Each structure stands twice: as structure tokens, then as C-alpha cells.
Chain A
Amino acid sequence: MAARVLLQVKEISKSFGGVQAVLRVNVELFEGEILGVIGPNGSGKTTLVNLITGFVKPGSGDVFFKDRKITGLQPHKIADLGVTRTFQIMRPYHSLPAFKNLIIPLNSPRIVRSRGGKLGDKDAVAIDILEEIGFERDAYVPYKIASSLPLGYLKRLELARCLALKPEVIICDEIFSGLSMAEITTMIPILEKLQLSGISIIMIEHRLRELFRLVGRVMVLNFGQKLAEGAPEEVMARPEVRDAYLGTEEITC
């Protein structure tokens, strides 16, 4: 069965001054899949996210969501269509309690529209979302001020903010980085559950072993260009990918 292409990036390029951050990259995200994007540091992964979600305007190339061109739209317009993202450097609302962080997306036009103007008890909805994402309700974690939360919860909060928007696509920018093995192990089922509920996910990751447990397809970026794409084992077996990760220099001793 050929799944529908949900998000399509065509020949997108962006340079910052003399640095070519992303060069003619094509991405296709099928409905209901998890796509991994990997690559060494500085290979343009986060720029790609910024380009798709409108935080950075592309130099050339286009982004299509459900065959609709979304290139150059404001970030809030793109989020409004259901393409959401997490930030690599977490951006919680420091001064607000964790569950109040979700009241902001719950007030967005997208949610107001989907509920026909009737919003009901937003606090309860927010706490339900947090519980779904792994906040223990009994430990009062949802009620703590966001600036006092540990890293693991902040990463979850990023994901929860996306989830509160009832998204169709979530782009996770290094959601595993900095987490302990135990925390990642509890995150993986959450992401699998999101996939089962019909959300397509792009995961940008450095933690390859954990990533490969989730993704069906992986894409490798290097110096802003697409190096390889395909099933994880197949991609990692390729010599150019190994070279990109480990270096090509001959060892002479």
C-alpha cells in the first residue's frame, strides 16, 4: 500500500552568509510514518526543521503540506495547519507552572476552531495531555513551575506543547539528547503511541540505536546535502555514511 505523502520538501536551500547550511534537500514524509534524520554536527538538521516550520525563510525551494505550498508562511500559520515542532534548546514558559504552559497552545486558533469555540476545562485537558506524555499526576509535577523542572520533563513538555495542538506532523529536534537511558526507554513507547494515533513524526537525532528502534526510514545529511536515504541498516552499511560519521582519513602507523 502506497501511503500518501503528507509533507514534501523540494530542492530546499539556505545559506547563512558564506555557509551553505542546506543545499537542495528533498524530503518526503508519508502519512503515519516516523522518519529519522541523522547527520554529524553542523550538517543542517536543525536548519531543515526551521525551514519546514517557517522560522527561517528558505533561499530557494519549496515546502508542501498536503499538496499545499507552505513556503514562506509565518511560523504560527504553519503550526496552525498542524505541522508542529519541538525545540532542541527547550523553550518552556519559565514563569508558568507546567500545565499552564499548555494553556497557551490550547488557546490557539487551531484548537478553538476544532472545538467550535467551546473550550471547556482547559486545565483538565492540559493535565490529561501531560499525563499522557509521562508526567506523574500524583507527584504534583504538572503543577511545578517550568523553570524548576528537570531536563527530562522539559523535553516532554516540548512534546506536550506540540500534542496540545492536535498536530498532524510533529518534528522532534533532538528530543533524546541529554536524557538518560531510562528516560529514553520511557519516551519510546510514547512516540510509538503517537504514531499509532495517526501522527507522522520526523525525528532528528544523534542517539542512533534508540532512533532505529522507532523509525522505518532514515535520511542522512552531511554538509547540508542529503547523503543517503533508506532503511536504517541499509543506510548505515553504506561506506559514505560511515565516512561522514567516522572520518575518511587513512590511519598510518
Chain B
Amino acid sequence: MGYLLLPRLVLIGGLLLLPFLVDMYWQRVLCIAGIYALLALGFDFLAEYVGLVCLGGAFFVGCGTYISGLLSATLNWSPVFTIPIATVGGAALSTLVLLPCLRLRGIYFAITSFMFPLLTVHVIIALNIFGGTEGISALATFPNVWVDQYLILGVVIFSLFAMRRLVNEDFGLILRGIKDNDQAVRASGISITAYKTKAVFIAALMGCFGGAYLSHLYGWIGISQFALDFSILPISAAVMGGMGTLVGPVIGAFILTPLSEQLRDFGQLRVVVYCLILIGFIVYKPEGLMNYLQRKYHQFEHWKEV
């Protein structure tokens, strides 16, 4: 029992204790890391369990941000309402937009999904809607930093365990079937489009929650929330943490985001150092951190008194 429980408790305990161990500045970084963790989780789920390499993370975040931001700015609703509405509404919207691309696979889906955040930014600028390039500021924020942090950490932990459960259910099994062999799934009388849609919706839920949360964290929405960071950093987090483990990308995000913050000291060389670290991981630990740790953990002998 303890053998299985220990890693889970270490993870949950570690995440929940983090806000106490760091100062104000890093607490904010932690919140951002949580958003990236959700995105990385969604990316890993879509890439490893459904076979859709989705670079639409920025689109999910953007949709969530703008929906909750606009609800908050125009109707003056509190975050208690705007966040759930933006999560579900944004996910529905992103799924609808990605629906025509679901026939594509692998790199082709990646390219088309990558296009949507860029497209939306240009639409917003060109039509000068939703505050245009300036964005909308002075939105409602959370009451204090503890709500900030525990909201996102709670959602990350919940999503992580929910996803782990989901992929081992029959629903997850069918999704893995689609990744392995979509034609065989069709021959089994199951509509692959319906299942892919559901999977994208689930991943979008997490991304849109991240976005909605972000709008109230900063109290501001703007086109920078469609930034491609939200599409790209989750991939590096997933590669570093270990693709297909679900927990790996989350840990990867909690390592990479602070790391990227820390590297600000390097000024312009920041990206270079960041890349070197990533390349190091790809060369020396291509399986990812989590796969490696899991293997090592299982290699320990565990004696039991009988």
C-alpha cells in the first residue's frame, strides 16, 4: 500500500506545501506554472492518448481569458461565475473551431491548431474588438494570494488524478485505440470524430480554465494571452517530464517555468541557456524525468514481513 501511496502523497504534499516555501514574487511564478501544468497535461493527453499533437494551447488560454474577462468587464460578474462559464464556454468554442481539423493527424493537426491563436490575434487587432491591442484592464482579482495559489494547485491536482483515471477507463481505452489504429476503431462501429471531439473538449477545459484564471490573476486581458508560449512551453514540459505519464508534464511545467524565470539574469542569453537545458534533457534523458524516476522507483526492492 505504502509503495503505491508514497509517490502520490509526495506529489500532492509537495505541491500544496510549495506556496509556504517561497516569497511573494515566486508565489506568482507558481501560479503561472500551474497554468502551464494544466496545458502540458492537456497536451500530453491529446498527443499520447489520442494521437493529436495539439499546438492550440494558446488558443485555449486566449478563449478562456477573453470570455471570462469580457463577462467580468461588461456584466461585472464575480470570478465565481465567470471562471466556470469561461471554462466550459471556452472549451466548447475551441472544440467547435478545431472540429473541422479533427480529420487530420500528427504533424498536420499540429500545424493547423498552431494557426488559430495567430489568426485570432490578427482578427482582434484588425477589427479592434475586445479592447484591441490595449486589452481590457481593471478586472476583478482574487481576494488574496492564498486563493490565487490554492485555486490553481487544487485544480492541477484534481485534473491530474481525474485524467489518470480517465485514460484507464473504457473511454480512455477507445482513445488509445484511435491513436493506435483509427481505421480499426471505425470498423468496430465507433465514430472516431465523436471521440476525438470529446477528447479535445476535455483538454480544452483545462486550457480554458487556465486562461480564465489568468484573466482574474492579472485583472487584465490582452492579446499577449494568445502568446505562443502557451503552445510551446507545454511541449518542452512534456518532453522534459516524460511523454505519456501525465504526471511528468505537470512536474516538467513546475520545473521549467521557475527555471525560465530564474534565467532572466542571463538577459538576452536566456533563451540560449533554456535551449541548452532542453537539449541536454533530450540527449541524456530522452525518456523524460518521470519515466526514469518511475523505473528507478520500481527497481528498488521492497521487502515485506510475512
A contact residues, total (Cβ < 8 Å): 31
A85 at the interface (CB under 8 A from B): yes
From B176, B177, B185, B187, contact of A53 by CB (8 A): B187
Q: How far in angstroms is the closest Cβ of chain B from A223?
A: 26
Q: Which of A60-68, A71-79, A210-218 forms part of the interface with chain B?
A: A71-79
Q: Is the CB of A76 within 8 A of B173?
A: no
A206 within 8 A of B: no
A13 CB-CB contact with B under 8 Å? no
Contact flag A79-B189 (CB < 8 Å), given A100-B173, A104-B173, A104-B174: yes
Of the candidates A79, A100, A110, A165, which one forms a contact with B186 in the assembled complex, judged by CB atoms under 8 Å apart? A79
Interface of A, secondary structure class, is: helix
Which of A36-44, A87-95, A192-200 contacts its partner? A87-95
- Asked if A30 is an interface residue, CB under 8 A from chain B, the answer is no
Given contacts A55-B183, A93-B181, contact A109 B189 (CB under 8 A): yes
Contacting pair B174 A79 (CB below 8 A): no
**Interface check B191, CB cutoff 8 A:** yes
What's the Cα separation between A105 and B189 when bound, in Å?
Answer: 7
A57 at the interface (CB under 8 A from B): no
Bound CA–CA A8/B187 (angstroms): 19
Cβ of B170: which chain A residues have Cβ within 8 Å of it?
103, 107, 122
Q: Could you tell me if A85 and B180 are in contact, using CB atoms closer than 8 angstroms?
A: no
Tell whether, in the assembled complex, residue B173 and residue A85 are in contact, meaning their CB atoms are under 8 Å apart.
no
Contacts of B180 in A (CB 8 A): 92-96
Q: How far is it, in angstroms, between the C-alpha of A107 and the C-alpha of B178 when the chains are bound?
A: 13
- Inter-subunit contact A79/B188 (CB<8 Å): yes
* Interfacial chain B residues near A55, Cβ < 8 Å: 183, 186
Question: In whole angstroms, what is the CA distance A19 to B208 when docked?
Answer: 49
With beta carbons under 8 angstroms apart, the residue of A87, A94, A95, A108 that contacts B189 is A108
CA of A196 to CA of B184, assembled, Å? 26
Answer whether residue B52 sits at the interface, using C-beta atoms and an 8 A cutoff: no
Give chain A residues whose Cβ lies under 8 Å from the Cβ of B181: 91-94
Tally chain B residues at the interface, Cβ within 8 Å: 18
Q: Which residue of A lies closest to B171 (CB)?
A: A107
CA–CA, A93 and B183, complex, Å: 10
Partner pick for A74 among B183, B186, B188, CB 8 A cutoff: B186
Whether A80 sits at the interface, judged by CB under 8 Å, is yes
Q: Which of B179-212 contact A (CB under 8 A)?
A: 179-181, 183-192
Residue A161 is within 8 A (CB to CB) of chain B in the complex? yes
- Assess whether B189 is in contact with A110, with CB atoms less than 8 Å apart: yes
CB-contact partner of B190 in A84, A95, A107, under 8 A:
A107
Question: Using Cβ atoms and an 8 Å threshold, which residues of chain A touch B192?
Answer: 76
- Considering only residues 16-38 of chain A, those with a C-beta below 8 Å from chain B are none
- Interface of chain B: mostly helix, strand, loop or mixed: helix
- What separation, in Å, do the CA atoms of A178 and B255 have in the docked complex? 51
When the two chains form their complex, are residues B188 and A91 in contact, meaning their CB atoms are under 8 A apart?
Answer: no
Are A74 and B173 in touch, CB under 8 angstroms? no
* Measured CA separation A164–B184 after assembly (Å): 13
Find out whether the CB atom of A108 lies under 8 angstroms from the CB atom of B188: yes
A37–B191 alpha-carbon span in the complex (Å): 29
State in angstroms the CA–CA spacing of A165 and B170 once bound together: 16
Could you tell me if B183 and A104 are in contact, using CB atoms closer than 8 angstroms? no
Kindly list chain A residues whose C-beta atoms are within 8 Å of the C-beta of B190: 76, 104-105, 107-109
Docked complex Cα distance between A87 and B187 (Å): 9
Judge whether A92 and B184 touch: CB under 8 Å: yes
Docked-complex contact B184 and A165, CB < 8 angstroms:
no
Shortest Cβ distance from residue B208 to the other chain A in the assembled complex, whole angstroms: 28
Least CB separation from A103: chain B residue: B173
Q: Is the CB of A104 within 8 A of B191?
A: no
CB distance from A166 to the nearest CB of B (A): 10
Expressed in whole angstroms, the Cα–Cα distance for A128 and B190 within the complex equals 22
Q: Are A104 and B185 in contact (CB under 8 A)?
A: yes
Q: Which residue on chain B has the smallest CB distance to residue A157? A: B184
The closest CB in chain B to the CB of A107 belongs to: B170
Q: Is the CB of B189 within 8 A of A80?
A: yes
Q: Point out the residues of chain B lying under 8 angstroms from A96, CB to CB.
A: 173, 176-177, 180
- Closest-CB distance, B74 to chain A (whole angstroms): 42
Q: How far is the CB of A118 from chain B (nearest CB, A)?
A: 14
Which of B170, B179, B184 neighbours the largest number of chain A CB atoms within 10 Å of its CB? B184
Closest B residue to A106 by CB, please name it. Answer: B170
| CB-CB nearest in chain A for B174 | A104
Q: State the 7 A-B residue pairs at the shortest beta-carbon distance, nearest first.
A: A79-B189, A105-B188, A108-B189, A93-B180, A91-B184, A75-B186, A80-B189
List residues of chain A with CB under 8 Å of any chain B CB: 53, 55, 74-77, 79-80, 84-85, 87, 91-96, 100-101, 103-105, 107-110, 122, 161-162, 164-165
7 more contacts with CB within 8 A, not counting A91-B184, A94-B180, A164-B188, are A76-B185, A79-B186, A87-B187, A91-B181, A96-B177, A103-B170, A107-B174
Can you list 16 pairs linking A and B with CB atoms under 8 Å apart?
A: A55-B183, A75-B187, A76-B186, A79-B186, A84-B189, A85-B187, A91-B184, A92-B181, A93-B181, A94-B181, A96-B176, A96-B180, A104-B188, A105-B189, A108-B189, A161-B187
